[in-house]
Amino acid sequence: VGVPKGLGELGVREEDLSRLASFALLDACMSTNPREATQEQMVALFRGAL
């Protein structure tokens, strides 16, 4: 069906992960997340999605 298999297929690179993590932590949705996340955890999450 043409769905990308990971963020890498969308052009995301390793050097983009820290910036993406920062944006994710600032997102309004994080205020309702039952668990707090650190910058490092978010980078690891995005790295796993590459």
Could you report the per-residue pLDDT of 4-49, keeping only the tens digit for each?
Answer: 999 999 999 999 999 999 999 999 999 999 999 999 999 999 999 9
Q: How far apart are CA 18 and CA 15, in angstroms?
A: 7
Residue 18 lies in a domain: yes
Tell me if 20 is assigned to some domain.
yes
- At 43 the pLDDT is 98
Print the domain residue range for 40: 7-48
**pLDDT of 37-49, one tens digit each?**
999 999 999 999 9
> How many structural domains are present in the chain?
1
Specify the pTM.
0.86
Neighbour-count burial for 1-39, b at 16+ CB within 10 Å, e otherwise: eeeeeebeeeebeeeebeebbeebeeeeeeeeeeeeeee
Q: Using CA of residue 30, residue 33, residue 36, residue 42, what is the dihedral sign?
A: negative
Check residue 45 and give its pLDDT: 97
Calpha distance 29→42 (Å, rounded) = 14
Residue 2 lies in a domain: no
